[in-house]
Amino acid sequence: MSHLIQQAFTITQTDYEKRNGNRGLVIWLTGLSGSGKSTIANELNTRLFHQNRYSVLLDGDNTRLGINHDLGFTDSDRTENNRRVAEIAKLFMESGNIAICSFISPFQKDRDLSKQIIGEENYFEVFVDCSLTTCENRDVKGMYKQARKGELESFTGISSPYETPANPQLILPTEQLNLQQCAELLLNSITERIKLRN
């Protein structure tokens, strides 16, 4: 790998941000399946779009149907899944986009790696907090029932652990707050982060 050299380009992140009217940022939503991550991410993206902000949505299921289709759900595959997504999100962020990432990302070490790749100053972690019981009751994809029957291996919360984030920038308790409240709280929390530098 010693023959590889980082290529420098004429247009910088600052140039993109000035054109876009917002700073680049990666918002990383983590939580159990069924906690509300994708729904909140979609609502935030919609609001940013209507504010004429430059944002992009990266979702766990969608990326596993595409760029990460070759990965399973072993611990090492989950790590590689998160690594790839973090690298993609970083590219979007460096182009002045607000990258909204919706991923279970159950392990603290993998979330720490994502933060390291993206850069702490550009990484905003959101814990979408919802109890396993409520997520199972929602079971929007029917996967908890399959996992309980042993039909799904390494399913987070059932046969594979979820490690609660150690120090997220924001916690959204979706059993207490509705979608609009969560989206509003998240949007308000990132407003200063996406303002252009003077």
Question: For the chain, which residues make up each domain, given as ranges?
Answer: 15-190
Cβ distance 124 to 170 under 8 Å?
yes
Q: Which pLDDT score, from 0 to 100, does residue 54 have?
A: 97
Cβ distance 99 to 59 under 8 Å?
no
Integer Cα distance of 76 and 62 in angstroms: 20
Q: Give the helix/strand (H/E) hosting 30.
A: strand 25-30
User: Which of 61, 114, 111 lies closest to 89, judged by CA?
Assistant: 114
Q: Which two tokens stand for residue 38?
A: 């994708």
Tell the residue number behind the tokens 């944002």, with chain if given: 55
* Per annotation, catalytic residue among 105, 131, 154, 159: 105
Cβ distance 68 to 81 under 8 Å?
yes
Q: Which two tokens stand for residue 104?
A: 């279970």
Q: Which pLDDT score, from 0 to 100, does residue 198 have?
A: 67
Active-site residue, 105 included: yes
Q: Which pLDDT score, from 0 to 100, does residue 76 have?
A: 93
Q: Give the number of other CB atoms < 10 A from CB of residue 120.
A: 10
CATH architecture of 15-190: 3-Layer(aba) Sandwich (3.40)
Q: Which pLDDT score, from 0 to 100, does residue 12 have?
A: 93
Q: Which pLDDT score, from 0 to 100, does residue 78 have?
A: 92
pTM, two decimals, is 0.94
pLDDT tens-place string over residues 156-192: 999 899 999 999 999 999 999 999 999 999 999 999 9
All residue ranges of the chain with pLDDT < 50 are none
Cβ distance 73 to 160 under 8 Å?
yes
Q: Which pLDDT score, from 0 to 100, does residue 27 have?
A: 98
Q: Which pLDDT score, from 0 to 100, does residue 4 have?
A: 81
